[in-house]
Structure 1
Amino acid sequence: MKTNLISREGYLKLQQELDYLWRIRRPEITQKVSWAASLGDRSENADYQYNKKQLRETDRRIRFLRKRLEVLRPVDYAAEQEGKIFFGAWVDIENDDAEQRHFRIVGPDEIYGRRDYISIDSPMARALLKKQVDDEVLVTTPTGKKRWYINQIRYQLSEPTSE
């Protein structure tokens, strides 16, 4: 089951995507479908079939975003988090092989397309929660357990919104 937490920035991005799909993308596709339909025989009309498919995919994404945005809980930075790893933290870690990683712990809805974000639901994030700089954690991976050392923790303060 996916966690319903999301960063404020991630929530705003999903809202912007929904707004774009509903106000701009969907009307454009609907107009193309109407135009293609006016040409006559729809069974062999590639423009009509392609744009109908685009409309279905857009509508599916709109439905998904509307439902998901209803249950998501945006999480803002709180001063009490300082010094420990919680949701939204940027973390620098290193293992015994001197392999280093730098990432931010976010909700599962925000990790796509970002190599520097990991889900709060991941084994790595779960192992790191509530830890501090210089702590070590054991993370179970498909290849066995790995020891990681925490080098740095920081938080990105959310920008105030004008809404």
Structure 2
Amino acid sequence: MKSNLITRNGHDLLVAELKRLWHDERPEITKKVNWAASLGDRSENADYQYNKQILRKIDRRVRYLGKRLEELKIIDYMPEQEGKVYFGAWVEIENDEGERKSLRIVGVDEIYDHHPQHISIESPMAQALLRKQVDDEVEVQTPSGKKLWYINLISYEKSENT
């Protein structure tokens, strides 16, 4: 089952995307479809076909975002999280070879922008890191076998009210 957790920033980005699609992109494409339709024969009208396809894609995304935003639960930082890895944490990890990574544990809906440092709460790495603290050892099963990581740093993005 898909997680319904999301960071405040992730939620704000989805809301902004929905507004942009609905208020900017959809009206613009609708004008193009109407203009192309006014030219007559729609079956051989490439402008009409192409813009109608874009409009369907926008409408699909708008419907998805509308439903999904109702299901999501925003998780804000709480002082009790300090010192341990929980949802929304930035975690710096290092392995025996000296390879370092800085990762943020976010909701599945925040992975769509392909941010290289965001990992889903459902990923094996995130699951291994949860509830751990600095200097803990974390074993993660990867396609190439088990890997051992050490937690160097844990931090959180704090909102104005925390």
1:140 maps to amino acid: Q
State the match for 2:64 in structure 1.
64
1:108 maps to amino acid: V
Deviations 1:41-90 (A, max 9, x none): 11111100000001000000001101110101011000000000000100
Percent of pairs with identical residues: 66
Equivalent residues in 2 for 1:96-111, closer than 5 Å = 96-111=96-111
- Would you say the 8 A contact 1:7–1:75 is kept in 2? yes
Cα deviation for residue 2 of structure 1 reads 1.5
Equivalent residues in 2 for 1:18-57, closer than 5 Å = 18-57=18-57
Q: TM-score when scaled to structure 2?
A: 0.96
Distance, in Å, in 1 between the alignment partners of 2:134 and 2:20 is 41
SS in 2 for 1:93: strand
Return structure 1 stretches of 4+ with deviation > 4 angstroms: none
Equivalent residues in 2 for 1:10-159, closer than 5 Å = 10-112=10-112, 113-159=114-160
Cα deviation for residue 159 of structure 1 reads 4.6
1:139 maps to amino acid: V
Q: TM-score when scaled to structure 1?
A: 0.95
Deviations 1:1-59 (A, max 9, x none): 21100000000110010011111111111111000000011111110000000100000
SS in 1 for 2:110: coil
SS in 2 for 1:25: helix
Deviations 1:113-149 (A, max 9, x none): 2001100100000000000000001111111111110
Gaps of 5+ in 1: none
State the match for 1:8 in structure 2.
8
2:121 maps to amino acid: I
Distance, in Å, in 2 between the alignment partners of 1:10 and 1:46 is 37
1:149 maps to amino acid: Y
SS in 2 for 1:11: helix
1:44 maps to amino acid: E
Aligned length: 160
Cα deviation for residue 158 of structure 1 reads 2.4
Let me know the Cα RMSD of the aligned residues.
0.9
2:104 maps to amino acid: R
- Would you say the 8 A contact 1:9–1:158 is kept in 2? no
1:57 maps to amino acid: K
